Structure formats: structure tokens, C-alpha cells
Structure 1
């Protein structure tokens, strides 16, 4: 049987009942697919007869060597990044489709895939607009890292982390959807709490979009200013000279887009826990792995950024990495705006005093 026999909501979060018994299917699946690759009916039967979690895991493992080979051939190590905006939604859609094909209650999963689709569209748009930027690791980071370590060691890093670990991670962050699927097997329908979780996820996607848009507007203004020496409308020359954005959401957090992105997958994890009536379950591996990835990635990004911009160290002191600091500049918590005002005040004082500061 593809789905486990469960009797309570808590059973839906049981690793022993819902995951471990189905791992042997992972070993048999490649041979089954090879024998039936030209038979659509048989492929559908295999799909329905295989536990959906195992199907998703197998797909993530199948992608890893492809990412590795393509990255080594092209010497471009952002192959996973290019799929970052699509793979989680592919996995979520897989769970939703599986539930529909098996006649399960799908209202929760339908709401989940709606949020996931909007998330993917936002990231995909952002990726192509910025010419290859992804929410995961940017290519320049891999290039910087490649220059700092031994080529053989970097190849091992590519095998184990860039290609394999990241591919599996994108599968793991969607495993709460498997738990939600299992709760539907018990006839659980959409509740008020489910609606709140779905709306919270959508709000976080919108917040991420605003943060990215503010960054995009600033970077475009900076490019125009550097090219024409003219300050674009609604921007301050001193802001553009600084080299990095410190206004809007970026006055509260040094990485508001990353903060929202991490919160999205933590909320999805909590949604699965809530529906299965547990405080925590094994799917925390995805959310926790995502948090660890962003901690490491952000640290490396800021290491590079602080080397480019002298004022970034002061920005780090005054504004929290992800969450706002309780105390900071004037106005908003962690506001950096008073740093912009200081030179103007000093210039005014010099002018009023004949160039001599009092």
C-alpha cells in the first residue's frame, strides 16, 4: 500500500509509521521505471503504488548527479539555484496531485499549492530580472569560494553540498505537505487555523517581494547614477554613494527578504505540526536545514560586502541581520537614516561658522 495505515492525527507525524516502512520502495523504483518507461499506463500505476514521499525523495536524488555533471561541464555552479524557485512547488504540486488522484480531501493542499505557486512566480521573476540571481546561493559566491580552496576540495564540496545536499534540502522543506496529505486521509477538512496558516504564508511572500523590489529599485538607481552622475528622482546622493540600501524594510533588517524566506518554510513546518496535533516532528529537518543554509550563506555574503563598502560595518552594528534590533538609530528600530543626516548637519555648521566648527 502506498499510504500508511493511520488511525490518529498524531500518527501522521510518526517517522516509524509513515516513512521508514517505505524506504525499500526507493531501491526498487529505478528498475520499475526502466522496465515501464514506454508504457504510460504502467507508469501511472507505479506512481500511485509508490509512497509519494519516496517518489519526491527519489526525484531529488536523481537531480543531484545531473546538477553535478552540468556544473562541471559549464564551470557554472549555480545549477541548483536555477531550479530553486521551481523545485519546492514541483514537490508540493506532486503531493497535491497525488491526493486528487486518490480521492482525498484536498482543500488544505489546494491552498498550500496556491501559496507555493505565487512564491515560485515571484522568485522566477526575480531570477530572470536580475540575470541569474536566486534566493539560494549566487554564482559569485561559488566563484569566490573556488578561488580560496583547493580545486579537489571544491569538487568534493560540489558533489556533497552544492549538487546533493541542496537538492535534497529543497525536497525536505516540502515534507510538511506530506504530513498534511496524510491528515487528509483521516477526512480532516480546512479549519480556521488552516486558513490563518495559508494567509500568513501569502503575507510573507508579499513582504519578501517588497524587500526585493526595494533592493532592485536602489540598485537600478545606483547604476543610473554611476552612469550619468545624476541622482534619480526620490533618491539621495549620499545613499547612492554609500553603495548599499539602508531604507525601507532594509532599515529594520539587513536581509528582510531572507528573513521572510526562512519564515515561510518555518510556518509551513508549523502548519504540518498543527494539523497532526504535535509540537514537533521529523519534518523539522527541512526547516532547520534551511535556517542553517541561510546563516552560512548570509555570513559569507556579508563578508564579501563588508570588504567592498567601508560603511557596512556600521550598518551591521546598528541593524539586525534578520530581525530588528530593539535599540538603534532614530525613528525605526535599527534605522540607519540618522547616519545620512550627520554629514549634512556638519556642512551646515561649517557654513554658519565660517568653516570653523564650534
Structure 2
């Protein structure tokens, strides 16, 4: 079975069951050792005491075992690393509630509620976009970047995938979710920067939603034209895509940097490292996406012109490109 080949109702049902079961080890551990019912003596076990004293370290250990190792093994069995794409939209919510309910948590109630609400909205948007893009079929295909790496590494991909697909995700996800830990480690009163952070997060989610919706409609329209035997539109230049070549990426980055502002406001300025690493990674992905577009003959010329007159990331007014002069005869 090749990557992304597990289709049909049976395959979708199987993948739904897998998606439901995979987080259970962490949930079971959390309920047993992190938030257990007190025993009759009223004293916590050594494991529970350690978990209460090391919330961030425990989050990394659970990620390593439950995501990196378990997801990797499932990816090897299915020959498809689709699971991490789905859980990229869910893990931040799980981490947020882990930090919020941890015995060591201390947070301003209003700030905590705002971050919880914003994160759930972000997750709902991204999960909806993922499922819509995949035709509401789980495990339909593997991310094209993983598929390219699979071809590149060949026989060594089975072990390289552990680091390229999963360990790297731990660095990104734990890093960008650090502000959630900061919010639940301080009960400092609300300030103006909490409002600024909230506005930035909302703006990021809204921009990403409309950008992804416009992209989905563009792709769907081109698929219909292709079925009818009509010429397709080479590039999307309408809506937000007329002001940025990657407005969906811009919206996503605005969300994470907005979330960082909550940590910055609480004196945890060093947590910018998570958003910075994520932005650098997305910058590299942007280069890969544009190279991929230029390799497609039917849109290469149109995309080169699109690159010349449209901002790469931050939405801005388009450049006026003069029409090429006609040669004199």
C-alpha cells in the first residue's frame, strides 16, 4: 500500500478509529498521575509529585512517547504520515488544557478564558480547512513535503521520518505553545497588551480563514474546468491573494505572534524563540511552494509575473508592472 492509498469507506473508518485512539495513552497517564484522586492516606505518589513539579518537562516526555514514537510507528505500518497533519490542529488545544488544569497552574481567570476561547477558534478553523481540503476523508494522502522527502531518502526514510516528521514537530509545537504555559504560570492583572494580543490573534485567524477559503474555491473551480476540458486559471490573484502571495501563511504567523504577546506581557520575552523558529520554517516552506509552482509549465510564466507584482507575505498594494514593449517591424 503506497502513501495516501488507503481510500474508501473502510479505510476512512479505520483512520477515524486510529485518530480517536492515539491520544488515549497521554490522557490515561494524565488522569492517573497528574490529576489523580487522592488515596486514603491523602499523600500523592512519587510519580504524581514529580509530575506536579515538572509540568513543561512532562509535556515534552508525553509528546516524545505518545506523538513521536507512537505516531511514527503507525506511519510505518500505514506507509503514510497523515496523522501528524490532523493532530497539528489539535495538539495545541490539548497542551493548552494540560497547562490550564495542571496542579502547578496559576493564571488570571479572564486572560486564561480569552486564550482558551481564541485557541479553540484557531483549532476549529484549521481543522475545518484540513478536512475540507482532504474531501472529509482522513488519511486520504500524505503531505506533499513528506512525500518528496520519502522519494529523496528512499530506503532510509523509515528511520529518517522519525526525525524529519515527528521530532521536528515537537520542537515547533512545544515552542509555539510556550505562551500557553506562560499564561497559566502567572496571575498578573490584565493590561493593554492583552488586548493587543487578542486583536492580533483574531485578525490572524480571520485572515487565514478567508485566504484558505478563497484558495479552496480557486482549486475547486479549476478542478471543474479540468473535468469540462476547459483551460484552467494558472494563478489565484483575487481577494487577499491579490495583496499577498501567501496570505494564509501571513494569517497563521500573525496568530502565533499575537499569542506570543501574551507571554511578552507576562515578562516571558524569551518565548519569542518558538514563534521565530516557526516563522523561519514557514519561510523555507514558502520557498519550496514557489519553486513547486514554477516547475509547473502551465503556470510558470503567469506565476513569475505574479511574483514581480505581489508582496510575498505581508499584504500590500500591487506593483505596477509595465507592459512589454512591442518590437518595431
1:32-43 alignment, distance < 5 Å: 40-41=36-37
Deviations 1:75-99 (A, max 9, x none): 1123211201001121112222237
- 2:106 touches 2:185 (CA, 8 Å); kept in 1? no
1:302-332 deviations in whole A, cap 9, x for unaligned? 22121112222222222222124666137xx
Give the superposition deviation at 1:121: 0.3
Secondary structure of 2:69's match? helix
Aligned partner of 2:84 in structure 1 is 80
CA distance in 2, matches of 1:41, 1:80: 32
Residue of structure 2 equivalent to 1:112: 115
Residue 257 in structure 1 maps to residue 272 in structure 2 = no
User: What's 2:182 paired with?
Assistant: 179
Q: Does the 8 Å contact 1:176/1:268 carry over to 2? A: yes
Question: Which residue in the other structure is 1:95 paired with?
Answer: 99
Gaps in structure 2 of 5+ consecutive residues: 1-25
Partner of 2:22: none
Residues in 1 aligned to 2:312 and 2:254: alpha-carbon distance in whole angstroms: 14
Secondary structure of the corresponding residue to residue 41 of structure 1 = coil
In structure 1, C-alpha distance between the alignment counterparts of 2:263 and 2:109, rounded to whole Å: 14
Offset of residue 181 of structure 1: 2.0
Q: Aligned runs of 1:1-358 on 2, under 5 Å?
A: 40-41=36-37, 46=48, 49-62=52-65, 63-98=67-102, 104-131=107-134, 139-152=143-156, 154-184=157-187, 188-228=188-228, 241-276=232-267, 280-281=269-270, 283-308=271-296, 309-310=299-300, 311-324=302-315, 328-329=319-320
Runs of 4+ in 1 over 6 A off after TM superposition: none
How far residue 131 of structure 1 moved from its aligned partner, in angstroms, is 0.9
Which SS does the other structure have where 1:67 is aligned? helix
**Structure 1 gap segments, 5+ residues each:** 1-29, 231-239, 331-337, 347-356
Give RMSD over aligned pairs: 3.3
TM-score (norm 1): 0.70
2-structure distance, mates of 1:88, 1:120: 8
TM-score, normalising length from structure 2? Answer: 0.75
> Is the partner of 1:114 in helix, strand or coil?
helix
- Quote the Cα distance in structure 1 between the aligned partners of 2:180 and 2:106: 16
